[in-house]
Structure 1
């Protein structure tokens, strides 16, 4: 692997990891705030917080990887 490929992979991994953390944390907090409401909705009561957190993490992974690819494409166009 050359140096540019290594930087691309590092950027994708870093952005994906950040997306996983942000997405998982966001959905975890949202599910716990939903349960603490005085009148929680039926959707809030039936959804498993762990499943909702994992869903947020997967969406964050995809969003982070997409952001890294988009940034890389933009940098290549500027060269």
Structure 2
């Protein structure tokens, strides 16, 4: 593997990991705020906070990988 490929993989991995952490944290916080609201909706009560967190983490993974690929694509075409 050449140096550029290693850098690209490192960029994708780090952005994906950051996306997973931020997505999971945001979903967890949102579900906690939803349950502490003055008016608790049926969506708050019926949805599992763990499932909501996993959905946020998967969305963050895709968003992070997409952002890394977008940056790499942009840098490649600027040269």
TM bucket (normalised to shorter chain) is over 0.9
Shift of residue 38 of structure 1? Answer: 2.1
Distance 1:18 1:27 in 2: 14
Aligned residues: 79
TM-aligned CA deviation for residue 37 of structure 1: 1.1
> SS of the residue aligned with 1:38?
coil
- Scaled by the length of structure 2, the TM-score of the pair is 0.98
The 5 Å alignment of 1:10-49 reads 10-49=10-49
- Which structure 1 residue ranges, 4+ long, deviate > 4 Å from structure 2? none
How much is the aligned-residue C-alpha RMSD, in angstroms? 0.4
> Aligned equivalents of 2:38 and 2:46: distance in 1?
16
Compute the displacement of 1:39 (Å).
Answer: 1.7
